[in-house]
Amino acid sequence: MAASLLQSLVGLTLVLVALGIKQRFPTIQRAATATQPSSANCTELWFTQFTDHFSWNPSAPVPETYQQRVFTYDKYFGGDGSPIFFYAGNEGDVTLYTDHTGLMWENAKEFKALIIFAEHRFYGKSQFTPNATGPSTAEFPYLTHEQAMADYVNFLYSYKTSNSITNSPVIVFGGSYGGMLACWLRLKYPSTFLGAIAASAPVRAFPGMDPAYDWDTYWQVVTRDASSSVGASAACQDNVRNSWPIIFNTGSTQAGRDHLSSMFGLCKPLESNDDVWLLAMWLAVAFDTMAMGDFPYPSNYLTSGGPLLPTYPVTAACEELKQADLKGDALLTAMRAATAVYNNATQSLSCYDLPYDDIEQDGIWDWQYCTEMIPQETYFTLSGSKDMFWSQAFNQSFINNHCQHKYGITPRPTWIRQRYGNIEDTLKSASNIVFSNGLLDPWSSGGITYNVSDTVQAIILEHGAHHLDLMFSDPRDPPDVTFAREFHMNNIRQWLKQ
């Protein structure tokens, strides 16, 4: 969002409107638990899924089918005609979403809903090659959002048919990339999905959209999270902004790079200017990740189920930068301590390994950016003035060269624009979608933040971070987050009456 839009949104607490596979699935086993429900309460299914939904014969050595992992829970399911709450798995092990998406769990009883969490191909255990941790070179071309969406549609058709629940409507939930998938699933497969809850879904953050996405607005939101207006120390932003000239100037010589390596406790010394840039981006991504995970209680969602980040981690990091006008080594020491809130969340690392082989710092997600340009913030513009980072323009030529070098491919920048049209126009003819965006979440910059129609609605959470409204409820939740959850369910109630 542009600065003026960001300012207007900050003044809002809410945007509110009036309220062929012959597999028999096993009987679901119900497990009781005295704690928060999770994948441990579910039945784990392995569904024989097509590797390629858009041709009849995948190229060797790619197999014709693979085993897709799905979790289901039917304790409250009312049978044929009762709804299915379906989570569209995104770029992670599906248990991360099973164990955190409390909105589905907490409302299934009222709606007599069947809960389903489906894993995205090539993430988690849903691999073409058993026990692999990602696609092989031959398998990468089958990692597309279209193939993943077709997986979900194929699974649901087969599951509903096999279990004689063909009259059960499906509500799709998703956060982040999963939120984009939820939106696109409703647009492309409306006969399969009655409605979509698309949380923190940056469906505008693609080249070719009108109005054009401003690539720097993402990092402006990260910067706002480090401001006194949301509880961080007053000196934090300026100290972070002032650190980059020191890092880049010091890193211009080998002696300086050796000094930076020592100051930041790196396992492998910096050897080039490119390494210095990688150090800077690694530090920036720490703030970026903490901004997404700026939750009102400790959470391990942004560490993929690993160590807990503290309550409002950006504010916690900024405590290390609260002394005004830090300079030189004192500032670098404070930056190391601040970013360690995320980078050393385990508090057990003796030194840090920079992601030399993963400059985008997101693993196989880079393939999805290098093909369809599914958003990856490390490529976005940094202004150095509107944000607290350094000046670095969005550079399609750099991206093209990187993708050619790494994968031998060139991105298709406007593919999503061509695939779904200009999203703000396309949504005018859509229905039954709710978009939610938290203003602490940098991905809100690419989200739908206004009501498109009576049935395509938006809600803004002033105190919400990355799809916090999908998480389990907590006494520490801000009122706007609690309200958003009820807003979602009220919309679903209306959809189910159609």
Pairing state between β 433-438 and 195-199: parallel
Token match 């979790």: residue?
Answer: 71
Cβ contacts of residue 149 below 8 Å, gap of 6+? Answer: 88, 181, 184, 185, 188, 189
* Region class of 126: left (phi > 0), else alpha (psi between -120 and 50), else beta: beta
**Catalytic site includes residue 466:** yes
What token pair was written down for 422?
Answer: 């200009």
Of 439, 440, 415, 457, the residue nearest 448 (C-alpha) = 457
Q: How far apart are the first and last CA of the chain?
A: 34
Q: Are 453 and 431 in contact (CB under 8 A)?
A: yes
Q: Are 203 and 183 in contact (CB under 8 A)?
A: yes
Residue type present at position 457: Q
**Catalytic site includes residue 467:** no
Of 290, 294, 272, 282, the residue nearest 244 (C-alpha) = 282
Cβ contacts of residue 236 below 8 Å, gap of 6+? Answer: 226, 227, 317, 318, 321, 322
Write out the H or E segment, with its range, that includes residue 196. strand 195-199
CA distance linking residue 287 with residue 327, whole number of Å:
20
User: Does the bond joining 245 to the residue before it have cis omega, within 30 degrees of 0?
Assistant: no
Of 308, 327, 362, the residue nearest 177 (C-alpha) = 362
Distances (CA, A) of 52 to 57, 64, 123, 238: 8, 7, 16, 50
Residue of 82, 126, 168, 176 marked catalytic = 176
Pairing state between β 65-73 and 456-461: unpaired
Residue of 74, 216, 275, 441 marked catalytic = 441
Residue of 466, 469, 480, 488 marked catalytic = 466
In angstroms, what is the C-alpha Rg of the chain? 23
Residue type present at position 49: Q
Q: Are 213 and 220 in contact (CB under 8 A)?
A: no
Q: Which residues are catalytic?
A: 176, 441, 466
